């Protein structure tokens, strides 16, 4: 009887969450498609947009922890497809959102000894440089010639579809066993240990494949800086599957890497005036509040439907961005 009641409560909590998310998504989408100017709310236009962006970010904040997909990826992908702001402002807000999440988590993981600073150092040395290059390239592409923003949209659409393919194929391993030793990693002493309460013992590990991981992080850093995406979707699989780091350490170390990388690439957007407080502030508040709700729900439930919904939204965002880009440069014409 107790199990039946518990299952019923879990079912109702999942259904309630799905209904709330769908209602908020519907309201936000209606505001965008119908035109927020036509909504009969007696408030200044700027305040209407602040409320809309807050609701938009709030929904993303909730579904981010539940789906395991980074909020920055969903925000930038859907934001470019739905919101009328310039792509530079959306990318700048996406970096701020990713940075806010990582800064909230990185100190805790570092204090607990899960984030490995020895592993972070060589990876950040290359990824930070390439993330700055990516930010410079993205802003140059969208502003240096007519139709540049449409090329950015097309490129983002392709990246999102590639990301979906990678997410579908990758399977994280909780405690991977490296097949071979890495001399460079051994010289840098890229190893660590932590007490795992679920196993009631100290777990040790050694990183491997450092040169390959540095090459991968350089590409990920460039993409993250160029499109304003938080790179947790790529950092964790590289740390876990390529370097053979346990999943819990990979997640914690990824947060510390994000905090450093996003700080560097964000300054490129700040210096070029691509970070607007009227967009960034409601994004930080919405994702901050939503992610706390989503984190608590994720600890109690495993709503696979939400994850599939988010993956579907990313796929839709990729296709819409490609179509908008192609129509913007005149290749597609719907008139």
Mean pLDDT per block of 10 residues along the chain (335 residues) reads 50 51 52 49 72 85 65 77 84 85 76 86 92 90 79 84 72 72 86 82 89 92 84 80 86 85 88 89 86 65 60 79 82 66
Specify the pLDDT at position 126: 92
B/e letters for 314-329, b = 16+ CB within 10 Å, e = fewer, are bbebbebbbbbbbebe
Domain boundaries, given as residue ranges, for the chain: 2-328
Specify the pLDDT at position 323: 86
H or E element that contains 195? strand 191-196
Specify the pLDDT at position 186: 87
Specify the pLDDT at position 102: 78
CA dist list (Å): 249 to 63, 80, 108, 130, 198: 23, 33, 13, 24, 14
Specify the pLDDT at position 214: 93
Specify the pLDDT at position 33: 46
Can you say whether residue 313 is alpha, beta or left, with left for phi > 0 and alpha for psi between -120 and 50 degrees?
alpha
Does residue 278 contact residue 47 with C-beta atoms inside 8 Å?
no
Q: How many CB atoms are closer than 10 A to CB 243? A: 26
CA dist list (Å): 239 to 64, 99, 175, 197, 293: 21, 19, 12, 22, 28
Residues 6+ apart with CB under 8 A from 41: 48
Does residue 70 contact residue 97 with C-beta atoms inside 8 Å?
no
Residues 6+ apart with CB under 8 A from 277: none
β-bridge partners, 194: 203
Closest CA to 223 of 212, 213, 233: 233
Specify the pLDDT at position 213: 93
CA dist list (Å): 310 to 229, 260, 273, 305: 16, 27, 30, 9
Residues 6+ apart with CB under 8 A from 304: none
Closest CA to 182 of 163, 151, 206, 148: 206
Whole-structure pTM value: 0.74
């Amino acid at each position: 009887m107790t199990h039946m009641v518990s299952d019923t409560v879990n079912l109702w909590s999942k259904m309630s969450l799905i209904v709330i998310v769908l209602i908020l998504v519907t309201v936000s989408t209606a505001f965008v498609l119908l035109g927020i100017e036509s909504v009969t709310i007696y408030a200044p236009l700027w305040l209407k947009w602040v409320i809309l962006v807050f609701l938009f970010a709030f929904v993303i904040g909730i579904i981010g922890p539940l789906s395991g997909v980074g909020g920055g990826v969903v925000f930038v992908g859907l934001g470019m497809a739905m919101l009328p702001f310039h792509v530079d402002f959306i990318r700048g807000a996406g970096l701020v959102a990713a940075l806010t999440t990582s800064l909230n988590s990185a100190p805790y993981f570092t204090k607990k000894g899960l984030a490995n600073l020895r592993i972070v150092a060589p990876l950040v040395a290359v990824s930070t440089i390439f993330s700055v290059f990516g930010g410079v390239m993205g802003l140059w592409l969208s502003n240096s010639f007519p139709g540049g923003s449409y090329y950015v949209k097309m490129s983002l659409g392709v990246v999102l579809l590639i990301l979906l393919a990678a997410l579908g194929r990758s399977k994280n391993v909780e405690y991977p066993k490296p097949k071979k030793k890495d001399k460079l990693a051994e010289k840098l002493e890229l190893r660590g240990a932590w007490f795992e309460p679920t196993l009631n013992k100290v777990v040790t590990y050694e990183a491997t494949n450092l040169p390959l991981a540095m090459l991968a992080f350089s590409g990920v850093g460039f993409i993250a800086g160029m499109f304003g995406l938080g790179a947790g979707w790529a950092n964790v699989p590289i740390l876990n599957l390529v370097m053979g780091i346990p999943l819990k350490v990979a997640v914690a170390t990824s947060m510390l890497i994000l905090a450093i990388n996003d700080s560097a690439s964000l300054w490129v957007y700040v210096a070029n005036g691509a970070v607007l407080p009227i967009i960034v502030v409601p994004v930080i508040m919405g994702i901050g509040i939503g992610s706390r709700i989503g984190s608590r729900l994720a600890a109690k439930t495993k709503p696979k439907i939400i994850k599939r919904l988010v993956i579907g939204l990313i796929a839709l965002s990729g296709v819409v961005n490609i179509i908008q880009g192609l129509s913007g440069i005149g290749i597609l014409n719907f008139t």
